[in-house]
Structures are given as structure tokens and as C-alpha cells.
Amino acid sequence: LIQNMKRKRTHFLFFLLYLLQMCRSDACPTQNKDLTCYNDYSHNITCVWNSSSSSGLTDEECTLHGQKEFDETIYSASCTLQPFDASGTSLKRCSLDFRQTYFFVSYDLIPITVTCLPLNHSETIHYTPACHIKLSPPEKPDVNITNVSWIPQTKEHGRIKLYASQLEWKHQDQ
């Protein structure tokens, strides 16, 4: 009788494990082609919006608004999209600052809405911070003939224990 119960319990636990694996989803959603965002996985989300793909919105004043609900409290942030650079391209950028350190968690799904006035154009994406992390860049690297070294700008991240850096370089004449 005891062995039969152990076998049933084992089968039940394997069944639960199977269900958990089926429900789990590590796949990250693809970013919207018009509004792409990345974050520091702490409190800041930076978005770039391509206003040319929405006809007639290149000269409009556009804002971003994001909010997250946690423990029955709604946290929100907003910013005004500014031209990406002085060339007058249709790319605009701004950062949503939620002001809470280590605010994001792996299962967050944050609605971010871009609104443009006076045409009252509005689009919403559902953003997953864990899928689009871009930590703050390090200070200028120290270059000494064949050695390149740098120190990460953030000393330690509360939720990221291990990460890798990449270095790209160009010859001075490029």
C-alpha cells in the first residue's frame, strides 16, 4: 500500500512538473517596429519612436506614458519625445523614470502608450523589461597600446549578478 502511494505521488509530481514546463514561456515578444524600448532593469525605460511610419506625425508633440501595478499601487511615469539628434530625422526619444531602484521584475508586462497632439493619435505596446535590458555604459576605456580596460559604471546591480560586456572599436580614420 505504501509503495503504491509513493508511485502515485511520484506520477503526480511528474505531471505537475510537466504542466509547469508547458506554462513557462521564456520567449520574448518582438519589439514594435515604430516604438522600441530598452531599460536598465532598475527603474528607467528609454524608448525611440519612429514618427515617420505614422503619416503626418513628424511635427506633432508626442508623449510616452507607462504604468505598473504592484501590490494594489499604480506607479506611473511619463516623458515628452524629443528629436533623436539635430539632423531633424523622424526618430524621437525619451526616458520613463519610475524612480524606484530595482523596480522591474522578470514577469512585468508594462503598457506604454505614445500619444501625439493635436491629432490625438495614440498607440500602446505591452513592454517586458526582462527581455530588453541595456545597462548603463562604462566610462571611457583606458587604452594602453595593446591593452584596453574599463570599469562598469554601475558597481553592482541588485538583480543581475552576472553579465558580459562587449567591446567594439574602430580605427581613428574610420
For residue 79, pLDDT beyond 90: yes
Q: What is the dihedral of CA 20, 21, 23, 28, to 10 degrees?
A: 140
pTM to 2 decimal places: 0.70
More confident residue, 170 or 73: 73
Adjacent-strand bridge partners of 61? 117
Angle of CA points 146, 147, 149, to nearest 5°: 155
Q: What sign does the CA torsion over 78, 80, 81, 86 have? A: negative
Q: Which domains does the chain have, with CATH numbers?
A: 35-131 (2.60.40.10)
More confident residue, 65 or 34: 65
Spatial separation of the C-alpha atoms in residues 56 and 47, rounded to whole Å: 20
Cell of 147: 591593452
Spatial separation of the C-alpha atoms in residues 155 and 158, rounded to whole Å: 10
126-144 confidence digits (pLDDT tens): 999 989 888 777 777 888 8
CA 115 from centre of chain: 20
pLDDT-based confidence at 98, cuts 50/70/90? very high
For residue 171, pLDDT beyond 70: yes
